[in-house]
Chains A and B, each alone.
Chain A
Amino acid sequence: MQRMLSEIRIAGFGGQGVILAAVVIGKAEAIFHGGYACMTQSFGPEARGGSSSAQVILSSEPILYPYVARADVLVVMSQEAYRKFGPQLKPGGILITEQDLVHVDEAPRGVRLYGVPATRLAEELGRKMVLNIVMVGFFGAVTGLLEADALRQAVADSVPPAFQKLNLQAFDKGYEYGSQLMVKLTDVEEAVSLESA
């Protein structure tokens, strides 16, 4: 993993499991990968509903500044979250969307956009609530920031034992969807570069 510091923001509606997704990613780095992670969350005074956003910084060194100023990776699960945080994505950053919930007219310049129908994939497993873990699996596959194994261990470690199997299935589903998408994209890129050659 050739990275010094990655700033990640995950955002959506309250209740979508935004915070848990961030916990899994942070834990994967800090506990199962041996690096440093710092997770913070922003929320308003309301207890339920509204928007939810979490920030995770992954680093090979101790993290000093705790907040994400400009994200390297933005994971959005609601249109409002995209509207609010889209402009804060770094040029060259990665935008990950729940593609049925977020419509992106035109991705910001230089940004790589990856969409996943996480809610539908979660529904195939019979539980819509695991869409956040589908997103984490997809995140793992398309960013390559963390080994799948570290993320899987973090998923298992972060959910109640009774829901472990379901969540690991959700993770695998998202990861597989992401891996296949990356293969397709590589093929396309190769085709494009052959054409232009």
Chain B
Amino acid sequence: MQADAKGVLTGVHFLDGDHACCEGTLAAGARFAAGYPITPSTEVVERFAQRIPTVGGVFIQMEDELAASIAIQGAVWGGAKAFTVTSGPGFSLMMEHIGYAAMTETPCVFVNVQRGGPSTGLPTLPAQADMMQAKWGSHGDYGIVALCPNSPQECFDLTITGFNIAEEFRVPVLMMLDECVGHMTEKVVIPEAEQLEITPRRYTKLPPEEFRLYEPREDMVPDMVRAGAGYRFHVTGLTHDERGYPSMNVETQDRSVRRLVDKLKPFSNGRALFETEDLEDAQVVVVSYGITSRVAQRAIQLARAQGIKAGKFRIISAWPFPDQAIDALAGRVKAFVVPELNLGQMVHEVARVAAGRAKVIPVTHAGGTVHNPEVILNAIVEAAR
């Protein structure tokens, strides 16, 4: 369906990534946000708090990140599209409720503007060191989708995509920005509302007596109900059966946990989001995401200028990892070079999929700034030997 024009700030703007992300949430239909301020993510909800009175909705500054990350889920079951925003230590605090959203299949969005860690780390400087935490930070096996924008324009566009995925698959979607992208100001074009495709909530069409809250449809995703619409329902983080009632048996556990993970399989395959360039003849493929993908592209240009056959694979949906696309490349390229603003995280996924068929070379960085393109270039040169 079309976006609600009330939330769409149509026009050409000069915005930073945080503000563009906020406009993305409004365009996607988010009318509830809860947050606890933390650099470098606060600007997202600061703008939301300013804009929402005229759009119509609610922002609550909560007492902490735990409260923020669960308040949004209450709002979702009450019928709103909702999100929260955080960084660094706040992301760690939200882990419990990311798991809750995955388990209860509550469609919602968590924006993490990554800064240098561990602990308080570098509040005002970039890193990409929460990538594994995004996938594995909450306990148990579960599925999430993580998206990595590399510009303010994408902070707008992908936030809408994120909300749409959350609704389609009933999962928490993690927007994995970094401080550099969040605080970088560039041109952002916001189209007319009718040009924006918005995924509505999948409300059941069954009558109350036939409806079962966790009965999956053909795509392994169950339909929802809105609180107060006349349906009885029960939402719990305990392992539950199709009716939503606690069911502590091995069969239910196996069936439901596998489904939570398997319903996202399309993102490992055909639904994976990525961007490629110069792969046709590439011997060395640089795999990167977020701000690092821009710096890496500079390195690829420098390598091509030296006659090295380098190509670009930019990950946009980092989780589930785009297995199929990397697998197809692994059989025919010499090496993958993986620069990231951490000491080696997504590189392990590249190595897992490559499974020894191509060299996998990490280009690590502890964060605080971006890579020097020359450093990535050196790794490409080395890999091409």
Give which listed residue, A26, A44, A64, A67, contacts B185 with CB less than 8 A. A26
- B370 CB within 8 Å of chain A: yes
Chain B hits for A23, CB < 8 A: 14, 185
Quick check: A65 and B186 within 8 Å, CB to CB? no
Cα A37 to Cα B188 in complex, Å, equals 11
Quick check: B370 and A65 within 8 Å, CB to CB? yes
Chain B hits for A9, CB < 8 A: none
Chain A hits for B200, CB < 8 A: none
Say whether, besides A66-B180, A66-B291, A43 and B124 are in contact (CB < 8 Å): yes
Give residues in A with beta carbon < 8 Å to B: 23, 26-27, 30-31, 36-45, 63-67
Cα A37 to Cα B301 in complex, Å, equals 20
Say whether, besides A26-B14, A66-B291, A38 and B186 are in contact (CB < 8 Å): yes
Quick check: A66 and B185 within 8 Å, CB to CB? no
Most buried by B among A40, A43, A64: A64
Q: How many residues of B contact A (CB 8 A)?
A: 20
Quick check: A39 and B185 within 8 Å, CB to CB? yes
Say whether, besides A23-B14, A36-B187, A45 and B123 are in contact (CB < 8 Å): yes
Say whether, besides A64-B297, A64-B298, A65-B370, A30 and B123 are in contact (CB < 8 Å): no
Quick check: B185 and A38 within 8 Å, CB to CB? yes
- B259 CB within 8 Å of chain A: no
Cα A66 to Cα B369 in complex, Å, equals 10
| Main secondary structure on A side of the interface with B | mixed
- B58 CB within 8 Å of chain A: no
Give residues in B with beta carbon < 8 Å to A: 12, 14, 39, 123-124, 180, 183-187, 291, 294-295, 297-298, 301, 369-370, 373
Cα A187 to Cα B124 in complex, Å, equals 47
Cα A67 to Cα B186 in complex, Å, equals 13
**Residue of B whose beta carbon sits closest to that of A55:** B184
Cα A43 to Cα B12 in complex, Å, equals 27
Quick check: B14 and A64 within 8 Å, CB to CB? no
Most buried by B among A23, A31, A36, A44: A31
Chain A hits for B184, CB < 8 A: 38-40, 66
Chain B hits for A27, CB < 8 A: 14
Say whether, besides A38-B185, A41-B183, A44-B124, A30 and B370 are in contact (CB < 8 Å): no
A28 to chain B, nearest CB (A): 9
Quick check: B124 and A64 within 8 Å, CB to CB? no
Quick check: B187 and A30 within 8 Å, CB to CB? yes
Quick check: A30 and B298 within 8 Å, CB to CB? no
Quick check: A65 and B294 within 8 Å, CB to CB? yes
Most buried by A among B39, B187, B301, B369: B187
Chain A hits for B12, CB < 8 A: 31
Chain B hits for A65, CB < 8 A: 294-295, 298, 370, 373
Chain A hits for B123, CB < 8 A: 45
Cα A45 to Cα B88 in complex, Å, equals 15
20 new A-B contacts at CB < 8 Å, known A64-B294, A65-B295, A66-B370 = A26-B14, A26-B185, A27-B14, A30-B14, A30-B186, A31-B12, A31-B187, A38-B184, A38-B186, A39-B184, A39-B186, A45-B39, A45-B123, A63-B294, A64-B373, A65-B294, A65-B370, A65-B373, A66-B184, A66-B294
Chain B hits for A37, CB < 8 A: 14, 186-187
